[in-house]
Amino acid sequence: MQADLIDRTFTCTLFMPFEEFEKIRRGDEVIRFFQKYFPDSVPLIGVEALKQDFFRLPAQAMVKGFEDCLVFDEIMDQFNENLAAVLEEYTRVRVPDDHAIADLSMYNYVEMRAHVNSRYFLFRKYLDNILHFIMPKTIIPLYTMFTFTRTRYHETVKHWHWQNKVITQGLWLCGVVSAAGGTYVLVRYSHKLPSISAEHLWTRILAF
């Protein structure tokens, strides 16, 4: 399933061979298929919605990532196709990236489960995209690094953690500067402000 950050809904994507799709031609066959293989999804999606949505888009080819193959081919060239040396080097090179992608998969699960409806999460996505537009080589959204670059996965995770730290510290700094500026203005011009009780001020803050 994939989360939509715009309308806060989820999209269900079904992966299986084309011949299996071709066997399902009617709405009742869709329901029987899902009841057999994904019974818990039927009440969540709804019988009528499932019947209609299944046929809205034709089955399409899945474009897979072949980075493992590319890396293996590069190492084959590097070691003149000495398979023993190639396998040892491939293991050494690829294991850190395998661990990183496992961690990223778990993070993606947590993100979809708990964060997609968070206002701060949506704000950070928006901010990250703006910063990426301004500084495309410095701030790169995690999805962009992971999907559209050849950056190694463990290096992607390191850069993601670094830029999260930088952006978070920047937001804290902006907050502190804003609070300090507001306090200065309040103190500096307090004599020009209308008299207001602390209780009334606190009520207004809560209302805001």
3-state helix, strand, coil in the chain (%, to 5): 70, 0, 25
pLDDT of residue 6: 52
Stretches in the chain below the pLDDT threshold 70: 1-9, 62-63, 65, 188-208
Q: What is the pLDDT of residues 80-137, one digit of tens each?
A: 999 999 999 999 999 999 899 889 888 888 887 778 788 888 899 899 999 999 999 8
What pLDDT score was predicted for residue 23? Answer: 92
Tokens representing 157? 């995770």
pLDDT at 183 (0 to 100): 79
CB atoms within 10 A of CB 206: 7
Whole-prediction pTM = 0.59
Q: State CA 21 to chain mean position distance.
A: 29
What pLDDT shows up at residue 91? 93
**CB distance 159 to 137 below 8 Å:** no
Residue 60 confidence (pLDDT): 77
| 3 state DSSP class of 11 | strand
What pLDDT, on the 0 to 100 scale, is given for residue 77?
Answer: 94
